[in-house]
Amino acid sequence: MSAAPYTHPTAWDAVADFLEHLGAGTVFGLPGDDMDLLGALEDRPAAAVLCRDQRNALYMATGYALASGRPGVCAVGKGPAVTHALTGLLEARSAAAPLILIAGGTGLDRLGTGAFQELDQLTAVRPFTKWAVRVDRADRLPAALEKAAAVAVNGTPGPVYVEIPEQIAGDPVERYAPWRPAGPQRLAPDGGTLRAAAERIAAAERPLFLVGGGARNRDAGRAIERLAELAGAGIFTTASGRGVVSEDHPLFCGLSGLYTTGPAAALWRETDLVIALGSRLEETATFGWPEARDLPVIQVVAGEEDVVTGRPGLHVLGDVLRAVQGWAGLLAFRPSGADWTARVERARAGQAREAARLAAEAERAAAAAGAPSVAGVLDALRRTVPGDCVLVQENGLQDMWSYHHPHWSCGAHGGSVVPSEQTPLGFGAAAALGVRLALPDRPVVAVTGDGAFNIFRPELPTLADAGAPVLYVVLDNGGYGWLQTNLDRVSGGSSRFAFTRDRPTGTGELAAALGLGYARADRPGELDAALRKAWEHCASGRPAVLEVRVLLTDVPPGMDEGPAGDFPARDA
């Protein structure tokens, strides 16, 4: 037998070497009681962000993966460390973020003996991962790591899990080949299906494009906008698809579903074909659409598990960019007609006028109560932070203003990271740190409710240690505003329970203790100066927090209609 050309003194050293091969610049996590991974990383280039809570580590790694297009890597211990990580796996799966979670595990020889923190971790993680493996023999580790990376980045990207049980941790690992290339392979769609879809697109009179998160980094040469121009189609994005196309484009009309308001919403009742690029057509994106049977959809997705049937139409499996390029080459487009294009452009203009009216109205109402308005905060951000800023969002009530175009607009150079359809509170606040580490040259602003920020608060020391100059804009309404608003709706304001209370946050003191920048605006007149101060901290390389007092009644467009519940009432 030939000698192995590559050897590693321990399993963790092999892991560290593989992560270097992947180009993982940062490992997020909270290693277990043994410090072997950190030992193996000690002399390697990767940074380690050591978190307070494993859940946040996974959120950070997901932000890193979504922003960089490379796998996010997390390392945690065993037992409760793995169960803490589960919500992060859920979010990474829902966000289609390539993520590799590496965990410790009870040794094979001790399984079933009531060993310390023993847990059937494989069973726990399986519902949330694309692939999960426990590596029981050191010689199987290289193959397991390579397969984990291949599964994480290909098809619909997602999280994978690799368990390193105690019995192999200290074993040497031999490899017989260099690590194989680990980048994603973008598969071309089937030619016949592409042609059939092209005929449907060419025949459509009133097409709309819906750009989802699966189109992230798949708009080379602005191919999507060019195709929409050829087809004379309007362009919407899902929340996750934001940042793919330029929102300055004259055919762009905003976010679809829950976040479509005013004149743009009418287009969804008039369209005769939706071309969905990299979207799973989930509830938030399709909220308010006509009956499924009345609206044909051509859906392009990389993985067959995301195909949505139940609507007339077609699915195209493969890479979004290759599908779009294929159509552009295939179609002798009969443009859908100047009438529809003009209709789309009118809707965009009408949307802008409606947004200006709503913002002015909200600003007047907030000013009357002596508070800044959220639309005013977004406007101030637009004026203060450079246009290549990546906006990272949360899922509270007030921060939802930023999902509405053009209250926030993500221009040609802008970027966006949002929570997935699962929307775990606190994701955006933690993800922003990962986004900033992935994009060290870009301004990163996280707009979050104070409830979401409180979930992230234990990681403020992590933020300080990582030196990631994120600007946190925290909308302070005294707690969980979304829940309070729903409670008020059902109780008529007479409940003895409360989700919000007006009280000091203590954030200024904490920020000072950690050397973070801090500013606060309680009144409209204080907003600009406070934002400038906070932004100057960031621009000079320091993380900063800007707290802004906002009113519970400062409700984003369309969210104050109907009874309490996930979504407001709206006519189909």
Ligand X SMILES: Cc1ncc(C[n+]2csc(CCOP(=O)(O)OP(=O)(O)O)c2C)c(N)n1
- Verify binding: residue 428, ligand X, rule CB under 6 A: no
Furthest-apart CA pair in the chain: how many Å? Answer: 83
Select the residue interacting with ligand X from 425, 430, 447, 468 (CB under 6 A): 425
- Verify binding: residue 480, ligand X, rule CB under 6 A: yes
- How far is Cα 367 from Cα 359, in angstroms, rounded to an integer? 12
Residue 363 or 399 with smaller CB distance to ligand X:
399
- Verify binding: residue 326, ligand X, rule CB under 6 A: no
- Verify binding: residue 149, ligand X, rule CB under 6 A: no
HSE, CB side, 13 Å, CA atoms: give it for residue 499.
17
Per CB under 6 A, the segment of 50-58, 166-174, 299-307, 478-486 that binds ligand X is: 478-486
Select the residue interacting with ligand X from 477, 511, 527, 538 (CB under 6 A): 477
The interface with ligand X within residues 159-198 (CB under 6 A) comprises none
Select the residue interacting with ligand X from 72, 155, 313, 424 (CB under 6 A): 424
In the complex, the smallest distance separating the C-beta of residue 425 from ligand X, rounded to whole angstroms, is 4
Residue 97 or 551 with smaller CB distance to ligand X:
551
- Verify binding: residue 395, ligand X, rule CB under 6 A: yes
The interface with ligand X within residues 206-235 (CB under 6 A) comprises none
- Verify binding: residue 564, ligand X, rule CB under 6 A: no
DSSP string computed for 439-500:
-TTS-EEEEEEHHHHHHHGGGHHHHHHHT--EEEEEEESSB-HHHHHHHHHHHTT--S--SB
- Verify binding: residue 288, ligand X, rule CB under 6 A: no
Q: What's the one-letter identity of residue 345?
A: E
List CB contacts of 367: < 8 A, sequence separation 6 or more. 373, 524
- How far is Cα 396 from Cα 433, in angstroms, rounded to an integer? 19
CA 13 to chain centre: 31
In the complex, the smallest distance separating the C-beta of residue 486 from ligand X, rounded to whole angstroms, is 9
Torsion angle in degrees (nearest 10) through CA of 134, 140, 141, 147: -80
- How far is Cα 350 from Cα 14, in angstroms, rounded to an integer? 58
- How far is Cα 338 from Cα 345, in angstroms, rounded to an integer? 10
Select the residue interacting with ligand X from 12, 482, 518, 535 (CB under 6 A): 482
Residue 90 or 466 with smaller CB distance to ligand X:
90
The interface with ligand X within residues 115-134 (CB under 6 A) comprises none
Q: How far is CA 330 from CA 186, 192, 203, 320, 502, in A?
A: 19, 11, 14, 15, 60
In the complex, the smallest distance separating the C-beta of residue 81 from ligand X, rounded to whole angstroms, is 19
Select the residue interacting with ligand X from 452, 534, 538, 555 (CB under 6 A): 452
Residue 336 or 393 with smaller CB distance to ligand X:
393
Residue 141 or 475 with smaller CB distance to ligand X:
475
Pairing of strands 72-76, 26-30: parallel
Do 103 and 75 meet the contact criterion of CB atoms below 8 Å apart? yes
- Structure token digits, residue 443: 């301004």
Select the residue interacting with ligand X from 193, 423, 505, 507 (CB under 6 A): 423
* DSSP conformation class of 335: -
- How far is Cα 543 from Cα 466, in angstroms, rounded to an integer? 9
In the complex, the smallest distance separating the C-beta of residue 522 from ligand X, rounded to whole angstroms, is 16
Residue 102 or 429 with smaller CB distance to ligand X:
429
Per CB under 6 A, the segment of 68-76, 139-147, 395-403, 526-534 that binds ligand X is: 395-403
| Three-class SS of 222-277 | HHHHHHHHHHCCEEEECCCCCCCCCCCCCCEEEECHHHCCHHHHHHHHHCCEEEEE
In the complex, the smallest distance separating the C-beta of residue 403 from ligand X, rounded to whole angstroms, is 12
- How far is Cα 230 from Cα 333, in angstroms, rounded to an integer? 7
- Verify binding: residue 403, ligand X, rule CB under 6 A: no
In the complex, the smallest distance separating the C-beta of residue 125 from ligand X, rounded to whole angstroms, is 18
Do 375 and 362 meet the contact criterion of CB atoms below 8 Å apart? yes
Per CB under 6 A, the segment of 27-35, 153-161, 240-248, 388-396 that binds ligand X is: 388-396
- How far is Cα 408 from Cα 410, in angstroms, rounded to an integer? 7
Could you tell me how many residues of this chain bind ligand X (CB under 6 A)?
Answer: 19
Per CB under 6 A, the segment of 185-193, 235-243, 391-399, 541-549 that binds ligand X is: 391-399
Select the residue interacting with ligand X from 398, 409, 462, 507 (CB under 6 A): 398
Do 534 and 519 meet the contact criterion of CB atoms below 8 Å apart? yes
- Verify binding: residue 415, ligand X, rule CB under 6 A: no
**565 Rama class: left (phi>0) / alpha (psi -120 to 50) / beta:** left
The interface with ligand X within residues 456-475 (CB under 6 A) comprises 475
The interface with ligand X within residues 258-277 (CB under 6 A) comprises none
Residue 424 or 443 with smaller CB distance to ligand X:
424
| Torsion angles phi and psi, residue 456, rounded to 5 | -80, -20
Across the strands, what pairs with 475? 449, 548
- Structure token digits, residue 158: 């997602």
- Structure token digits, residue 455: 């979930």
- Verify binding: residue 451, ligand X, rule CB under 6 A: yes
The interface with ligand X within residues 483-542 (CB under 6 A) comprises 483
In the complex, the smallest distance separating the C-beta of residue 388 from ligand X, rounded to whole angstroms, is 26
Q: Which residues bind ligand X (CB under 6 A)?
A: 394-399, 423-425, 449-452, 475, 477, 480-483
